[in-house]
Amino acid sequence: MSPELSKPLKGFQVGVELPLLFFGKNKLVQSQKILYESQLLENEKSLDDFETINNQLIGNLKFLDMNMSVAFKNKFELAPQLIKFAQLNYEKGEIDFFDYLQTMDQVKEIELNYLNAVLEYNLIQLELYYHQ
């Protein structure tokens, strides 16, 4: 070892570092910022679409609920009475077999329409549940 290195050093050293690729990093930051903003806009659009679909499903559900309650009170509850009425009138001879079949067909159509409404209501309920 040299005797000069064993002594403590006196003084200090100052340096300046200039990044040569500063402008490249600046462009990368700008592109990341643009990508972030586009992702935010896409998320907002997705949220708006979700809310629109959700509100539409809720509106359809309310509409079907109202229609089902009216149909149940007015038609579906009367279906068994129509069957009894048609059977009694047919047995008494007041209506012929063709009228009896027409009445039965109407009753089955009422029941089928009500059950289709219930099915559609339940499908919308499921879609609303799994959409959220």
pLDDT in tens, 37-75: 999 999 999 999 989 998 998 998 898 888 888 877 778
pLDDT in tens, 11-44: 666 767 666 655 667 788 888 999 999 999 999 9
Cα 49 from Cα 56, distance rounded (Å): 11
Q: Which tokens sit at 112?
A: 């089928």
Any idea which residue has 């009228």 for tokens?
Answer: 99
H-helix segments, the chain: 22-74, 79-92, 97-131
The C-alpha R_g of the chain, in whole angstroms, comes to 40
Q: What pTM does this model have?
A: 0.60
Q: What is the per-residue pLDDT for 4?
A: 67
CB contact at 8 A, 117 and 127: no
Domain ranges (residues) in the chain: 54-131
pLDDT in tens, 105-130: 999 998 888 888 889 989 999 988 88
Q: Encode 30-61: b = buried (16+ Cβ within 10 Å), e = exposed.
A: eeeeeeeeeeeeeeeeeeeeeeeeeeebeeeb
